[in-house]
Structure 1
């Protein structure tokens, strides 16, 4: 049952931390773009007037004491029920005008719509060169590993279906959550749609909460962790193969000396090479076992998402029948 835009319940999610300069305009823009949507502002321990300004603009304001964007999004996904979710930042860097088109794509059946900044104005507007390098690095790494062609891995402007929101397990605490979302979606083979959006840098006087080095390290560690979890066979198998090659290299040197002299003078090298080969084989076996578990986890995710989709359809049908009576 495909819903029309005017029939769907829409939630606009705005995680905020000290955004008093821009949050009022952001709420007004999304109110104009999506008049029927409920706008939620989750205040993440702001020390300025972010919460009061958002409330005065008619947004539903809720506090989230656990610091970090990942924690805020996790709370939003747990608390809010809607047919379509639109997530953006409260810093006025994303245009609300794209939101209706993103909602339409979710209603067409996509699981997640990605607001692609990098294909439009991001590299011209963003004044932080290390962020540009980081975006390119992360994009190349993830697309190479998962065989994908996602253009913007780390964008904060996205739309989600009900099923995606309720089945997605958020583990990240901070800004690395967007990277985690993309990797999760690629691993689960979800229906993704990328929509180019115009990016604008923060207005003068508004300061980014990103730490180039600290958040960059967190993003890279998230990629490393999720590759280990989602691609265990290539990860552990590759490590095991490398260790085995080193072990065989040492073993061949000992065997060559044995063939030449008839003795084995380097006993420690022989023992070390055999141990390296065993460690490599154990790593490969570990990768095989974890790969089976990862596939079972994908099956469980598909079963759960299908169940949520079914229950959501039944709920919508029940509401439609009640409204007709």
Structure 2
């Protein structure tokens, strides 16, 4: 098992990967640098190996697929994950690693949004999207994560070996954050400086499609991780609709003794039943979630023993 492993997922980063690997070796001389090449069509793999990195291949396209492979294959006490585009300074890597190794942190978030991100990033929709996602996650999960979508993080062994990678693309960072918050893992924030990509280096992000996928991931994980809140809100909405349409029918019945809008009454009944079903679905899923949390704690104990051995 390595003490520190630096994990760099890459797709067509020949302009920057050599510098990122050398910066990582300078910041963490004892670390093993792993570059996972994701079907690059340029010299990314060649230049990474030349700079001294261990180069491996992941043939399923997508950042989530690369991270799944890295987490399965690499064993280390501390993992530093950083993008290969040279937008994150490796000078903060030592502080992040120390939080994992000495302060028992499970995930350290490299916080761009509290420093230079909004000045350096030239894409206004990305700026707005990052702020929206941060506000949504912190409100829904009652957390205080300052940068949800940063690609610069440090992880403990137990986080990596208990994190189920379900996403295939860039929404993986959101999934990591929610997993840590939901399972009551120790999360720390380290403010980092952010610099935009150097000239000639192109981002692989699509503002609209990737943004939609991130929002879809938040919606899906809110439903999965907080089912009582999700289905409780749905139940309340259905109940309000049922009552809203029933009031005029009920008033007319009291005044005339007749129900001329019988289809509306039937619809109200079905909406009320759906509200009741949603409420009980939320309760059942919540109890299943509590059981899953207990099972997860037992899995953490097993992983902790593996680390000590």
Does structure 1 retain, via aligned residues, the 8 Å contact 2:36–2:58? yes
| Among 235, 238, 249, the residue aligned to 1:240 | 235
Q: How does 1:224-235 map to 2 (within 5 A)?
A: 224-235=219-230
Q: Distance in 1 between matches of 2:190 and 2:201?
A: 26
Q: How many residues align?
A: 308
Q: Which residue in 2 is equivalent to 1:165?
A: 160
Answering whether residue 51 of structure 2 is matched by residue 69 of structure 1, we say no
Q: TM-score, normalised by structure 1?
A: 0.93
SS at match of 1:9: strand
Q: Deviations over 1:68-126 (max 9, x none)?
A: 00110010000000110000000000011111111100012110100000011100100
Q: Does 1:85 align with 2:79?
A: yes
1:26 aligns with 2:24: no
What's the offset of the Cα at 1:8?
A: 6.7
Partner of 2:39: 45
Secondary structure in 2 aligned to 1:127?
coil
The 5 Å alignment of 1:241-280 reads 241-280=236-275
Q: Is the 8 A contact 2:138 2:144 kept in 1?
A: yes
1:134-185 Cα shifts (integer Å, max 9, x gaps)? 0000011111111122110100000000000000001000000001111111
Query: Cα RMSD over matched residues?
Result: 1.0
In the TM superposition, residue 192 of structure 1 has moved relative to its aligned partner by: 0.4
Cα offset for 1:40? 0.2
Q: Which stretch shows the higher mean deviation, 259-268 or 247-256?
A: 247-256
Moved over 6 A (4+): none
Q: Is 1:151 matched with 2:146?
A: yes
Structure 2: stretches of 5+ with no match in the other structure:
none
Structure 2 length-normalised TM: 0.98
**Distance in structure 1 (CA, Å) of the matches to 2:252 and 2:144:** 50
User: Aligned partners of 1:77 and 1:311: how far apart in 2?
Assistant: 15
1:303 aligns with 2:298: yes
Q: Which of the residues 108, 115, 126 maps onto 1:113? A: 108
Question: In the alignment, which residue of structure 2 is the partner of 1:104?
Answer: 98
